[in-house]
């Protein structure tokens, strides 16, 4: 087995996540989320977009001051979380971002500028040459303020490949230390996104001096798959959000990427992570409550159905041995336990277990069969049979015999 490298986990719940339509975090909410991210071992926290509002500038400054120095839960990592803020490639925005993040012992400026012809022509109405000039000037200016600079060529996935190589080569020369290559519109397939990194790392001069980073939007539901493909092709930083919240269909979710790596400790990935997975459910609930963004019940890892079993065959298997239908022990991600849900497709073993849990004694197989057939008749009419329904059926059964 080859030696694994550390995966840098860059969480952007407080910046890209907050760009989800309808989501605004208050400063105390941002602080609590940032504290939990720090405790769970996140490496870089993108705390906001300081130039976007006074409120965001204050929130990012407070996170830098109050969360930036924290070491609780990070003993194995050996350093505090890096605090960063996103900025346009404009001097006064860069200065303002630096003024917010500089209070953290470890801080970074994250500059973005579009590079695709679509964005250069329609959004900026400038040439590729002018785009490149602005990018280089912005990075050079940022380097006069701090030495940890991330650059993102926005809409990289739709940028001409040769131009992208030129931009990234110049970005390294100007002083960028992390190159984040986003699929801003979520258009790529995993092979394309992974292949792009392979090409960029092989063709960009100075590629070995920087950290390569992936940032995927989820417009085709491929953000996690694309991020994993990027790791397999040289990426060592992933940009993620809790519950996958973010612009439009959202971003790559932290819990999916981390648990994909966690459940594949062999040779599938050339990286290891230092996330405390036991805090995943806790932070998912915190982000759900503070953002007001519901988590779909069947969302991987953190959805309410992620560890629930309804069909008789599955219930029977799980009751005999959890591993028959669960690839993750719920306790590993902080979910209190799995659950057996009674519905139309459920079987007798689950019913028997549920009745016992409710303290209902079933004296014979015949009595169980009778309760089971009435339960099935009810389940045909109702999506979920409740404890109250079961108690009523069992009581009625006792009376009618
Ligand atoms: O989606 C995107 O391109 C971004 C960058 C600013 C990183 O959010």
What is the predicted pLDDT for the residue at 382?
86
Cα diameter, the chain: 86
Q: Distance between CA atoms of 308 and 132, rounded to whole angstroms?
A: 51
Give the start-end residues of each E strand in 267-370.
271-272, 308-309, 339-340
List, in sequence order, the alpha helices (H) in 175-222: 190-203
**Is 16 near ligand 1, meaning CB less than 6 Å away?**
yes
Contact (CB, 8 A) for 94 and 109: yes
| Number of other residues whose CB lies within 10 A of the CB of residue 21 | 7
**Is 152 near ligand 1, meaning CB less than 6 Å away?**
yes
**Is 193 near ligand 1, meaning CB less than 6 Å away?**
no
Residue 312 CA to ligand 1 centre (angstroms): 45
Q: Distance between CA atoms of 318 and 179, rounded to whole angstroms?
A: 45
Q: Distance between CA atoms of 42 and 253, rounded to whole angstroms?
A: 13
Residue 359 Rama label (left phi>0; alpha psi -120 to 50; beta) = left
Q: Which residue has the tokens 């200065």?
A: 95
pLDDT band at 397 (very low <50, low <70, confident <90, very high): confident
pLDDT in tens, 108-155: 999 999 999 999 999 999 999 999 999 999 999 999 999 999 999 999
Contact (CB, 8 A) for 219 and 185: yes
pTM surpassing 0.90?
yes
Residue 269 CA to ligand 1 centre (angstroms): 24
Q: Which residue has the tokens 């803020």?
A: 85
**Is 48 near ligand 1, meaning CB less than 6 Å away?**
no
pLDDT in tens, 200-238: 999 999 999 999 999 999 999 999 999 999 999 999 999
């Amino acid at each position: 087995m080859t030696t694994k490298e550390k995966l840098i986990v860059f969480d952007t719940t407080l910046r890209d996540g907050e760009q989800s339509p309808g989501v605004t975090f208050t400063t105390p909410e941002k602080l609590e989320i940032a504290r939990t991210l720090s405790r769970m071992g996140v490496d870089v926290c993108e705390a906001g977009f300081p130039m976007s509002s006074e409120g965001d500038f204050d929130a990012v400054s407070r996170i830098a001051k109050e969360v930036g120095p924290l070491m609780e839960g990070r003993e194995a990592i050996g350093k505090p979380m890096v605090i960063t803020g996103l900025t346009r490639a404009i001097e006064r925005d860069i200065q303002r971002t630096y003024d917010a993040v500089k209070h953290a012992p470890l801080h970074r400026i994250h500059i973005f500028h579009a590079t695709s012809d679509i964005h250069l022509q329609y959004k900026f109405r400038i040439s590729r040459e002018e785009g490149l000039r602005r990018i280089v000037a912005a990075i050079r200016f940022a380097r006069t303020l701090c030495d940890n600079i991330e650059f993102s060529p926005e809409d990289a996935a739709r940028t001409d490949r040769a131009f992208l190589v030129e931009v990234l080569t110049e970005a390294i020369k100007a002083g960028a230390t992390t190159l984040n290559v986003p699929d801003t519109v979520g258009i790529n397939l995993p092979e394309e996104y992974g292949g792009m990194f392979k090409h960029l790392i092989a063709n960009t001069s100075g590629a070995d001096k920087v950290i390569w980073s992936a940032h995927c939007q989820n417009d085709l539901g491929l953000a996690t798959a694309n991020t994993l493909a990027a790791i397999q092709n040289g990426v060592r930083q992933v940009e993620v959000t809790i519950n996958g919240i973010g612009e439009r269909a959202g971003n790559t979710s932290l819990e999916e990427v981390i648990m994909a790596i966690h459940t594949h400790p062999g040779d599938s990935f050339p990286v290891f992570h230092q996330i405390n997975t036991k805090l995943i459910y806790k932070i998912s609930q915190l982000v759900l409550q503070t953002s007001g963004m519901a988590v779909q019940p069947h969302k991987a890892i953190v959805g309410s159905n992620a560890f629930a079993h309804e069909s008789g065959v599955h219930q029977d298997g799980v009751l005999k041995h959890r591993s028959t239908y669960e690839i993750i022990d719920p306790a590993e991600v902080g979910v209190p336990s799995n659950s057996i849900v009674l519905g139309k497709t459920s079987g007798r073993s689950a019913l028997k277990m549920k009745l016992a849990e409710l303290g209902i004694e079933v004296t014979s197989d015949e009595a169980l069969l009778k309760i089971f057939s009435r339960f099935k008749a009810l389940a045909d009419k109702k999506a979920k049979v409740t404890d109250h329904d079961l108690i009523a059926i069992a009581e009625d059964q006792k009376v009618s015999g």
